[in-house]
Amino acid sequence: MERLVERLEKAVERLEMVHQGPGMCGDGSSKGVAQYVQVFDGLLAGPVAEYIRISKEVGGDVQKHAEMVHAGLMSERALLVVASQHQQPTENAFSSLLKPISEHIQVVQNFREKNRGSKLFNHLSAVSESIPALGWVAMAPKPGPYVKEMTDAAMFYTNRILKEYKDVDKKQVEWVKAYLSIWTELQAYIKEFHTTGLTWSKTGPVATEGTKSPSAPAAGAAPPPPGPPPPPAPAPSSSSADDAASRSALFAQINRGEGITSGLRHVSDDMKTHKNPALKNQGGPVRSGPKPFTAPKPACNANPAPKTSPKAPALLELEGKKWRVENQENATNLVINDTELKQVAYVFKCTNSTLQIKGKINSITLDNCKKLGLVFDDVVGIVEIINSRDIKVQVMGKVPTISINKTDGCHVYLSKNSLDCEIVSAKSSEMNVLIPTEGGDFTEFPVPEQFKTVWNGQKLVTTMTEIAG
């Protein structure tokens, strides 16, 4: 109850901040602005403003990223203003209205991809994994759970930040709390005003593709909180917006329940090709349903010049305390010597290569690698394998923890000194741990992938499932 009262007090404070801002009427009212737009302004003035403030203190890439996030939130506010003054548009028009939000999401995610060598890469990843939550406006009939799902996607990286800075830099811990509070408050906001989807006005004109929110707040309306200017948007791309609209339509179909099959027609035996071979020899199309989706072919000249994306340069260098090994292909003799305890190794997008790390190092991360062999002596922290395929890791000395996430095919060779190693896996397959024997060989043990969960009357109990063979 105390937490509920505290949250209500904070909400009231934010609303008061918005109502007391410049551009208000003498009585503090905000004429012409829908209530849910005012409350969204309170969210911008509260959790978002706090996140921006702390991001500026952290500085660097985190500050730049925060400016992009703020621009995306302002784009969403513009759509909320349109929805509060117009009736629900057609699907095509709605897709067009979603484009600015989709573009801002893409800008945020591209920034992470262009700065994989950043010292604050975990911060950039946490934001990039969760920023699609801005697409809740197209996620009828359950926008709230969609935001929660996107927030959960960021937890992997925010937990790494907390683990790294918990007892070192409290400012980083505050940043995590401030950022996650945006999405927590947004879920509460959606639950109150947009439970089953974006709420459109019952009066006013129907929104069209060219509909825009007022460039400046009307007289007496609360202006959006000040913030850094938005970054330049890339060339418009409608794919994300179209996908969001399509998902919304799909959810609507699913929610029909059993009625979803009412549109199907019975196919008699004489219409089935396996029971009526003569149909196979007839001309014309075999089926009358819609064609499967194919990517649109870009317009091109009669004699197009072959286009090849520039190949990223191969790296093996020490940058501060981080060894960067990137974009290596068919390199079988990569070696890192002269390591120190405070150094970390980040291996990104290496293919069909072998890397040996000698000495004792703090941690090793393999990201987006294929057919990579890693041999190392000692790691005092953790070895992480993310978004990779066909990885072989051999421990020569000791390592306390190995984490395998979103990886298909991973063989871990343990040494006699590392048999107490903890192996944590998630969303991965074809994982095997090889244990040394007295004769110098290895015995292979598969890591379980199939589990059974039952309700025991008080809680869920999950156990490994033995696969009969």
The dihedral over CA atoms of 99, 103, 109, 115, expressed in degrees to the nearest 10, equals: 170
Residue count (the chain): 469
CB 50 within 8 A of CB 178: yes
Q: What is the DSSP string of 204-241?
A: SPBP-TT----SSPPTTPPPPPP-PPPPPP-S---HHH
Kindly report, residue by residue over 121-141, the tens digit of the pLDDT: 999 999 999 999 999 999 988
Kindly report, residue by residue over 401-431, the tens digit of the pLDDT: 999 999 999 999 999 999 999 999 989 999 9
Predicted confidence at residue 310, as pLDDT, reads: 72
Kindly report, residue by residue over 447-460, the tens digit of the pLDDT: 998 888 999 999 99
Average pLDDT, the chain: 81
Predicted confidence at residue 167, as pLDDT, reads: 84
Kindly report, residue by residue over 15-51, the tens digit of the pLDDT: 554 444 433 333 334 457 899 999 999 999 999 999 9
Question: What mean pLDDT is predicted for residues 151-172?
Answer: 89
Q: Which of 360, 362, 333 is nearest to 345 (CA)?
A: 362
Tokens of 369: 């690698």
Kindly report, residue by residue over 189-206, the tens digit of the pLDDT: 999 999 999 999 998 899
Question: What mean pLDDT is predicted for residues 232-245?
Answer: 49
Question: What mean pLDDT is predicted for residues 224-239?
Answer: 47
Predicted confidence at residue 230, as pLDDT, reads: 46
pTM of the predicted protein model: 0.48
Residue 101 φ then ψ, to 5°: -65, -45
Higher pLDDT among residues 158 and 233, named by residue: 158
Query: The dihedral of CA 241, 246, 249, 255: what is its sign?
Result: negative
Q: How far apart are CA 432 and CA 392, in angstroms?
A: 10
**Any bridge partners for residue 374, and if so which?**
355, 393
